[in-house]
Every structure is written in structure tokens, then in C-alpha cells.
Structure 1
Amino acid sequence: MEPVMPHLVRRTAALSALALVATCSAQAADWSDTSLSYRYGTKFAEPFNNNDITKNIVNLSSVSGYKYGKNFFSVDLLMSSEKDPSAAGSSVGAHEAYAVYRHTLDFGKITGNSYAFGPVRGLGFTGGFDYNSKTDAGYNSKKRMLVAGPTLFIDVPGFLDVSLLALWESNAPYSTFTKTATPRYAYKTHAMLTAAWGIPFNVGIPLEFNGFANFITAKGTNEFGGGTAPETNIDAQVMYDISSLVGTPKNTFKVGVEYQYWKNKFGNPDRNNPGATAKTPMVRAEYHF
């Protein structure tokens, strides 16, 4: 276990710096896209839960570009069915809020030089955080995580950003079964290779291939002394712009399908733990404004 207090001090300082950068860059945004979306699936999974879980998910996302880079912010409100109960013995499903913020600096824009080579059109640096809060029967996650590392901008139609990030993660769960609160625990600093993309393509109709893929190394022991496992989390969408069908400007309304594959969810090994790997098809709708 790594000392918690120094990590919390560093994280607080880093979050303050990121918030300042985000505020300054937002004021000088060259472009932005904000969306409200809804997705639905019946095959969600949670560690130590053998049930298929239905979830309704509402998301607010915003991405913007400014002189030296771009910002991305996303918050999910995830509402589970009773198969993922909000408390022990409850017939009400769990609720979760999960927020992600990333700020990416583009070295080419900062220096005025080209860093292109091979399929790479530029280099950057990404920092940000993840933050969640969930009410459920067993764990009640309160994840806090900082991320930072280099980014490659791949030369494709649309965008493809690939980053190698260091992760500083902690949690302070509360068990409704044992009525026990666990003091905030910092996992071992670990790494994530991540990609995010939005690529247009045409198969007789114009479509978009969007999504992300995270490959995360094991993070040492968990707060209960058990081992953790490497994670693979791939979430991909194929979206169709229906704006012209409803008489609105292009890229206002989109519908599509989504699929998520998440192995060893949250670092929980899926040996004898079927819920630790999720294979979830979804339908998705978006409104951009």
C-alpha cells in the first residue's frame, strides 16, 4: 500500500491546476460539441454478481478545441435494475455517477513545429481525472483517479488519439452488508494504454465509428489484501445521423448501436467470478447542441 495522504495532496494540487487550465482554455475555445445521450442494455455485469443487469444510462459530454489543445468532459448517470440492488435486500436498483475529464496539449500547436512521422501526425500530453460515486449493496465505490502521459495523434479521417498514461487511483468503499467503511486506499501506481477515436465511413449511407479502448495493468493488491488483474475495456459505437429526417441541422440527432467488452472489471480477476467480465450490447441515441 502506498501512503494515502501525500497522494491526496498531490491529487488535489493537480486537480486544481487542471481546473484552471480547463477554465482558461474554455474561454478561448475555437470549436466545441456538447451532447446529451441515452443508452440501454440488458447484459451489464458487475463483479461478484452472477446476474445480467439492465441499465439505463444518461450521459452529458463536451469536447472543445482551443489554441494549444483540447478538452473532454463526460459524466454518466447509470441506473441499474434490481439485479444490482442499491442496498442489501433492496428491490431498488443501484445508482452511479461517473465523471471523466481529459485535457490534451498539442506540442505542434504550442511550438509551431511539426512532429509528424509515419502514421503519426502529431504529439501531445494528456492529463485528467476520473471520479465516481455509486450506491449499491456490496461496495459503494468512491473512486478517485488522476491520469497523465504522452499522446500520439494518428493520421486518420476524423481522429484517433493513443495515449500511454500513468494512473494514480484510490477508493474508499462502504459495505452495507457489514456496515464497514474502508479508509481511503491508494493502489499501486499503474499504467494504461488507451485509444479514443471518431472515424467517419460510408457503406452506402454515412456512418461514424466512435469509441475507446483501455488496456490497464494490474494495480497491486486491493484494499482487502486480494490481488488485482489487468483490465481490458473496449467500448465501440456505430452511429447514424438522422438529423435530416427530423428537419434539424446536420449532426444534431444520431442513433446507433454500441458494444462494450470489459474483462476483469475494476481489476477484479474473473476466475470464479463471472460478473467481472461484461459483454454488453446497447442501443444509443444522441442530441448534440
Structure 2
Amino acid sequence: MTKLALALLVAAALPLAAADWSDTFIGYRYGTQFREPGIDGTLTKNILQLGHASGWAYGSNFFNVDMLMSDKNDPTASGNGGANEVYVVYRGSLSLGKLTGKSLAFGPVRDLSLTAGFDFNAKDNAFASKKRFLVAGPTFHFAVPKGFWDLSLFACHEQNYNGIVGQSVDFKTTYQIATAWGIPFQMGQVGAEFKGYANYEGAKGKDGFGVETKPETLANLSLMFDISPLFGTKKKVYVGPGFEYWNNKFGGPNHDGPAPATNKRVTAPMAQLQIHF
């Protein structure tokens, strides 16, 4: 799986300079109802974002960096203020229809791609997460009137670090079902877009504490409104609400009972801003 993922990543990343289309944006998200394992109660996060999507003759690329800044309820390892985290995602896809020159459309599917990618993060709290995550598998591109809707079936493998017990963790290879979408529409005279992603990942064996992990669900939803006309332009500045749902975060079993709660389900509304280039 690692060799396949690396080969697809190299093939997809080579034509970045020759993109047929691209969209790059900076963003800001704010919410007060986030949660972290091992912390009882909610916390506030300010999240800065840099995102990029582009397409070329035979596929597409997606890259995103989140810089997450927690309040003091999620402290650094030294206890000096709130923790900071950097989380990076890359996905590269090769269109089988474009590579073969044949239509692979069937039913609601307009094309089929091979996709590979990686996640990695670093966080300066006591847990000191160092996630290294590879995915590879097919992606089905659905025919929608506007925008896009994709569904991927991935094999995935994670390595991480548990600073509480001071050891690295090599999880079992498992599967992930991932969907992402961006559907533009009009609300009267205002342009809008419903966008987001949702991932369901299977159990991945024991974590660094020796506890069996559970299947994990993460969804991030956004309803963004185009306020660019206020600045004399179009499709450049968007604001709107967002919502994050996270069940069995990091694969840890939920504990939704009374305090102390080690891993409560995340249901976090957000306010969001994006500026596109």
C-alpha cells in the first residue's frame, strides 16, 4: 500500500505547475464547543487555514493546512497557555477515464479515479501527537449539475506518538470511506455553496494505552455565502456557519456519561471566513 500511495502521489503532483484550473484560499474558523480526549468540558479554538485545489489534464490535487490554536483548557505540555497544532492534508487523483481515453461513466457516476494521499500533524500538548497517515484507493466522481461530489474507498495506515506513555504507535491497516462535496447554488441574489467532507474509518487495533480502538466518524459541514459584491468583485470572499461532528475521536471509545469524561462526542458549530485567489 505504501509503494502504491507514493507512486500515485508522485504522478499526481508532477503537473502542479501546469494546472488547467486552480483555487487557492485562506480561511479562518472560530468555535467554542470543541473537545479533546482527556479533557472534561468544551474549549475554544481559532483555526487559520490555507487550502488549494487544482486540476490538470489527467487528474486533480488537493492540499490543506490547518493551524489550530486552543484556549488554556487544552494546555501546552509546559502548561504555558493553550496548545497549538498544525494539520496537513494532501490528496492526488489520476482519472482512469482521462488516462484511457474512454468513458467510465455508469449510473450516477461520471468518472473513476485512483487517489492517494497523506495526513500529518504535530501538536505541542502533553500527548504530543505526531500523526503520519497514508491512504490509497478508488474515487467515484458523481454527476451533479454544478460543483462536485466524490466518494472514495481507501485502505489506510496510521503511525502516531503517545507522549503520555512515551511511545510510538503503529496501528493496523484499516479502511476509510470518505466523501467530499461542493455544491454551489443561488439564494435569491446571493451566491452560496454547501461544502464539506465526511470520513468513516474502521477500527485500527490498540492505541498507545493498550485500548482497542473503535470505528471513527468525522464530518465537517459548511454553508458559505458569497459577499464579494460588497467589495466590488465576485466569488472571492465567503462567510457562513460551519459544523464539526466527531464520534470516537482518534478511535478512542466515546464516554458521554457524567464527568470525568475521557472522550466525549464533538458537536461544534463554527463561524467561518474564506478569501479566494
Q: TM-score range by the shorter chain?
A: over 0.9
What letter corresponds to residue 286 of structure 1 in structure 2? Q
The CA distance in 1 between the partners of 2:219 and 2:125, in whole Å, is: 24
1:174 to 146, 163, 182: 163
Partner residue in 2 for 1:251? 235
Distance 1:150 1:14, change over 3 A: closer
Please report how far the alpha carbon of residue 238 of structure 1 lies from its aligned counterpart in structure 2 after TM superposition.
Answer: 0.3
Normalising by structure 2, we get a TM-score of 0.93
Matched, 1:59 2:44: no
User: Aligned residue for 1:149?
Assistant: 137
Distance 2:5 2:200 in 1: 24
Question: Does structure 1 residue 281 correspond to structure 2 residue 266?
Answer: no
Contact (CA 8 Å) 1:164, 1:191: kept in 2 or not?
yes
In the TM superposition, what whole-angstrom CA distance separates every residue of 1:163-214 from its partner, at most 9, and x where no partner exists? 0101110112323xxxx521x3211111111100000123323210000000
After superposition, residues 203-218 of structure 1 pair within 5 angstroms as 203-204=187-188, 205-218=190-203
Aligned partners of 1:268 and 1:276 also within 8 Å: no
> Number of matched residues?
271
- Unaligned runs of 5+ residues in structure 1 are 1-9
CA distance, structure 2, for counterparts of residue 173 and residue 73 of structure 1: 26
Task: Tell me which of 178, 183, 187 is aligned to 1:199.
Answer: 183
SS state of the match for residue 245, structure 1?
helix
Distance 2:132 2:80 in 1: 28
Q: 1:76 to 1:242 in 2, by over 3 A?
A: same
Give the conservation status (yes or no) of the 8 Å contact 1:39–1:56: yes
Letter in 2 for 1:121: R
Whether the 8 Å contact between 2:162 and 2:208 is mirrored in structure 1 is: no
2:74 paired with 1:84:
yes
* Residue 275 of structure 1: how far off its partner (Å): 3.6
Shift in Å, 1:22? 4.5
Contact 1:51 1:275 in 2 (8 A): no
Match of 1:126 in 2: 115
- Give me the TM-score of the superposition, normalised by structure 1: 0.89
Note the C-alpha offset of 1:16: 5.5
Q: Percent identity?
A: 47
In the alignment, structure 1 residue 262 sits paired with structure 2 residue 251: no
Secondary structure of residue in 1 paired with 2:90:
strand
Counterpart of 1:162 in structure 2 is 151
Query: Deviations 1:221-270 (Å, cap 9, x if unpaired)?
Result: 1122111011111110000111111123x211111110011000010100
